[in-house]
Amino acid sequence: MRISCPYCGERSLDEYLYIGDATVTRPDPAGANAQADFYKYAYERTNPAGAHKELWYHSAGCHAWLVVERDTRTHEISSVETAKDVALKRNVAKGGA
């Protein structure tokens, strides 16, 4: 499997580390149900068979964290974005809402 790092280009699996689901984001630690929210964030996974947004780290490359959308049945990758860009957009969305 090869992932295209937006910075480095296409590289093989062994340059990357995987951490998992990118659809969960760190909840508000001051929220009313912080502990329940953090439990869900840290433990509950959709674990879909199909399209999966997930976080990869270009550990042997540029050290960027990436959000990769990949089909868990075929390993086919449909998109790669940097985690930073996704996070900035998410934060804007949060702030804007």
Q: Give residues in contact with other proteins (CB under 8 A).
A: 1-2, 7-15, 17-21, 26, 29-30, 34-36, 38-49, 52, 54-57, 59-65, 70, 72-77, 82-84, 87-88, 91
For the four alpha carbons of 81, 21, 16 and 87, in that order, the dihedral sign comes to positive
In the stretch 2-31, what mask flags binding to Zn ion with x, by CB under 5 A? ---x-xx-----------------------
Name which position in 54, 61, 65, 81 contacts Zn ion (CB under 5 A): 61
Structure tokens at 3: 């992932």
Nearer to other proteins, 76 or 79 (CB): 76
**String of b and e for 51-76 (b: at least 16 CB within 10 Å)?**
ebbbbbbbeeeeebbbbbebeeeeee
Is residue 86 a contact residue for Zn ion (CB under 5 A)?
no
Contact between 41 and 33 under an 8 Å Cβ cutoff? The reply is no
Q: Does 68 bind Zn ion (CB under 5 A)?
A: no
